[in-house]
Amino acid sequence: MKTIDKIAILCILTFAAAACNPSVEPTPVPEPDVVKPETRTLTFVLPELVLEEGEDAPAAFKTAWVPGDQIVVHGEYAKNQVTVTLGAGDISADGKSATLTVENLYPYRREDCGSTLYASYPAAMADNLKHCFFYSKFSTTNAELMAACNNGDTFQFQRICGVLSMTVQGDYEGYLLSTPKKEALGFGFLQVKLTDKEQLFSQYKGDPLAQVEGPVDGSRILLYMPDGTTLSAGFTVKLKENGDYTKIFKYGEPVVISRGGLVDIGDITDGLQRYDNPFSDDIKDLDAEGNANCYVITEPGGYKFKAVKGNDPVQFLAEPAEAKVLWETWNDDSEVTPGSVLASASYAEDYVILRTPDTLHPGNAVVAATDENGVILWSWHIWIPETAIQTGSYGGIMGADLMDRNLGALVATEATDSQIDVRSYGMVYQWGRKDPFTAAGSFNSSTQATYAGEPEEVAALQISLAESIANPRLLGHVNNGDWATIPQNDFWTEMEKTIYDPCPPGYRVPNRTGDFWSSDLTTQAGWGVNLTAGWLKLGNPAAVFPIAGYRDDYSVGGMAKVGVRTLYWFARANDDAKGAGADLRSDKAYTFGSAPKARLGSVRCVKE
């Protein structure tokens, strides 16, 4: 008889006997191995501070616990973590340790380490994930952060950050510190791993911070920074009085911050200079709703936006010196007056500053930030439409809310029997590039729209990504292939908006599926086309698209097939040579397809 059969029979006889004879108890079933809450008396010890004889402890470091201090203690799960609040009776006479009884502790036991509980200070900065395990995550780095693992019932804390310290005389309430090279001064969050077997003081980091602000505590300024923070060209501190920055201090020597270390600059009062704010009160933030490669202006005035790469708010440019207007267009064949779309562009303190004429002239312009040698570091498209941009799903036929016009179009295309307004053609783009180029300048014409400013150039062959950034007027040229010398299929992606996406804040290049219509337009509700007037439409109410043509890959310097075909790019790359798009051809078919990346097509942005 098999062993399993014997066990089954034995179990049946046992339970039967118990049923017949109450005095016979059934064999107990062992309970599962469940972590139960514990009550323990814990001691929290501050880090040692080594001082020279007669030296006072610097104010930058905590040297004694005080009543009200709060510490987070956790095991595996954040939901079970405990916030410990110290009372006067818990703290030792010298303040260096505190001992108290803590309930509802859930130890996290592992074979690879002996520590089972983990602590973070201050509790207000703890931001542990659901499964925090043996990590301590902090929501900022500009604070005196400490972490520890238990050794029995004792936690010996360790400092996570070092300190940059200085003093200033005067009635200042706040500071803002930045570096000339936009080096990381801290991070949006910091996660560390401290066990009895391993110590990682920078396990995971959030977005780097290119500037840090905080209060002036009396006369002292303290900045806490992670281990290894390097300010290779020094730093700049602006000081705030009565809500405005009025003074500035520039320090030109390199600074390196080590964990638990202190760099004391001393009293900076004598080095203060008057700060003249380059941003007048009437200047509006264009990137208040997010950063992008394109910004829309609808009213005359002054504007600013961060000099960062695309939609990444922390990718500041390296050492920009100035900004300028590269070129302007009115989207037709009129002679463009220089300064009519944008009156000026300048750079100051991480921002590009724009001024429009007193009366807006609808059009498009490109502005660029340059280094001290005039090399373009990045460029942005400024879009001034004549009529307000609308978005809609057009009777649900679209998978995402779609703009009512092409990117860069000054007016929306109207589905009437009259010829469409050529200013609804918008701008055209090589697949994956952020910078616009002009479309046709007159109805069904192969001639480009006119412009004022730096001339457009066509390279003899393909160009590199770096060349495309430094030369936003340069078109890479190749037949039936990619404009880029090294193909990259993630310049635009369907997963997320990239730093090369040409759409304004809140919008992106549409996905191949889900955002646009299905592949055969002629089967869609509301389908219609009018080749005489130059438009096609679908949906109810109708989304109208100009038959704007494109610039072909073998002749990128001029328009082709205007009034016969048009190309709308999607964010997906088909392969190294081609991008996905709605390749709409009245002489062939109105379906989805692909086109060479060197070709210039239209973009119809969708809501993020």
Mean pLDDT by 10 residues, the chain (608 residues): 40 38 42 73 91 59 96 96 97 97 95 94 95 94 96 97 95 93 91 95 91 92 94 94 93 94 94 91 92 98 95 88 97 97 95 96 98 97 98 79 96 97 98 98 95 96 97 94 95 96 97 70 84 91 93 85 93 95 81 90 95
Per-residue model confidence (pLDDT) at position 65: 97
Strand duo 235-241 + 262-267: pairing: unpaired
Say what the alpha-carbon torsion angle 9, 11, 12, 14 is, to the nearest 10 degrees.
120
Length of the chain: 608
Element (H, E) at 584: strand 578-585
Per-residue model confidence (pLDDT) at position 56: 54
Per-residue model confidence (pLDDT) at position 222: 93
Query: CA 247, CA 240: separation in Å to the nearest integer?
Result: 7
User: Do residues 514 and 398 touch, judged by C-beta distance below 8 A?
Assistant: no
Strand duo 302-306 + 284-285: pairing: parallel
Output phi, psi for 488, to 5 deg: -130, 120
Name 568's bridge partners. Answer: 582, 602
Query: CA 24, CA 150: separation in Å to the nearest integer?
Result: 47
Per-residue model confidence (pLDDT) at position 53: 52
Q: Give the pTM.
A: 0.76
b/e map 76-104, b = 16+ CB within 10 Å: bbbebbbebebeeebbeeeebbbbeebee
User: Do residues 413 and 424 touch, judged by C-beta distance below 8 A?
Assistant: yes
Per-residue model confidence (pLDDT) at position 19: 38
Residue with structure tokens 């002036």?
A: 216
Per-residue model confidence (pLDDT) at position 30: 46
Nearest to 349 by CA among 290, 429, 276: 276
Whole-Å CA distances, 481 to 300, 575, 577, 591: 41, 10, 4, 21
Whole-Å CA distances, 136 to 42, 195, 224: 18, 11, 17
